[in-house]
Amino acid sequence: MTAMRVDAKVVMLGKESVGKTSLVERYVHRRFLVGPYQNTIGAAFVAKALNVSDKVVTLGIWDTAGSERYEAMSRIYYRGARAAIVCYDLTDSSSFKRARFWVKELQNCEEHCKIYLCGTKSDLIEADRSVRQVDYHDVQDFAEEIGAQHFETSSKTGKNVDEVFQKVADDFSSCALEFMQEEKGVDLEQKKDSYFDNCCHN
């Protein structure tokens, strides 16, 4: 598992067509693809490096398929993840139910995985408030209850997209730092690489 130096594994979860792939496309390639919707098959992996204060952190992002067909396989995609971006479509209340399912699954199976709730397609809401089906405050309450972060994004306009991933990376490195300071004797300068490797593939 050393082919790619990835510091933190991040997994995208959520019902199909909520916009997980679009979110990753926007963040990694700075684009929004219009055209017929192409559902993801299995999962797609991309690595993306970003700066956290003066360090570089590489996120290994797993964009999973929302189709139920792959549910049985989902564990291989989220196992060992440091962060899960659980997406729901702001204009589709059933997608939020599905998001709750993923939260429960993560709480049961990956207790060290931080959860980021992400309401997608906020541009549609801005264009027409009446299409909103998931209330901001309801999700905010839920997020506090489970100790998650909460964002509303648009991959079409790019709104809040960088913020989500930046937050993921910030949280990861500050948590890693905290962790290291607790375990005295780890030399931050020399052992950084090996520490991060252990940390993300445990």
Partner 1 sequence: MPDARMAADVHNKGVFWEVKNGNLAPSDRLRQDRSDSPTPGLVEGTEPGAGQEGAMFVHAQSFEDLTAVSESNTDDNSAEVGDSNLESAQEAALEGGEEESLEAEQEEVGKEEVQSRKKAKEEDVTSETWRSHRKHVFVLSEAGKPIYTRYGTEEALSSIMGVMMLLMSIVEDKKNIIRSIHADGYRVVFLRKSPLILVGVFQTNCSDRELTRELQYIYYQIVSLLTLTQLNHVFQHRQSYDLRRLLAGSEHLTDNLLRLLDRDPGLLLSAVMCLPLASSARDMVSSSLQAAKAKNLVFSILLAGNRLVTLVRKKDQFLHHMDLHLLFNLVGSSSSFRAGEGWTPICLPKFNPAGFFHAHISYLEPASDLCLILVSTDREDFFNLSDCKKRFLERLRRRNAYQSLQEALNMPSYPVSQVGIPELRHFVYKSKSSGLYTSPDLPAPYQGEEELERLMGLYQQLHSCLHNPTRLLRYIYRCADTENLYALVTSGFELYLCFSPLGTKSLAVSAVNKLLKWIRKEEDRLFILSPLTY
Q: Quick check: 22 binds Mg ion (CB under 5 A)?
A: no
The residues in 183-202 that bind Mg ion, with binding defined as CB under 5 A, are: none
Whether the Cβ atoms of residue 184 and residue 149 lie closer than 8 Å to each other: no
191's CB contacts (< 8 A; 6+ apart) are none
Whether the Cβ atoms of residue 161 and residue 24 lie closer than 8 Å to each other: no
The correct pick among 21, 122, 153, 173 for binding Mg ion (CB under 5 A) is 21
DSSP code, position 63: E
Residue ranges with strand state E in 65-164: 83-89, 114-120, 149-152
Binding to Mg ion by CB under 5 A, coded x per residue (else -) over 23-62, reads: -----------------x----------------------
The correct pick among 46, 124, 175, 180 for binding ligand GTP (CB under 6 A) is 124
Q: Quick check: 173 binds ligand GTP (CB under 6 A)?
A: no
Whether the Cβ atoms of residue 141 and residue 150 lie closer than 8 Å to each other: no
Q: Quick check: 19 binds ligand GTP (CB under 6 A)?
A: yes
Bridge pairing between strands 55-64 and 83-89: unpaired
Burial (CB < 10 A; 0-12, 13-18, 19+), residue 68, is exposed
The correct pick among 65, 168, 199, 200 for binding ligand GTP (CB under 6 A) is 65
Binding to partner 1 by CB under 8 A, coded x per residue (else -) over 19-48, reads: --x--xx------------xxxxxxxxx--
Kindly list the residues in this chain that would bind Mg ion in the complex (CB under 5 A). 20-21, 40
Kindly list the residues in this chain that would bind ligand GTP in the complex (CB under 6 A). 14, 16-22, 37, 39-40, 65-67, 120-121, 123-124, 154-156
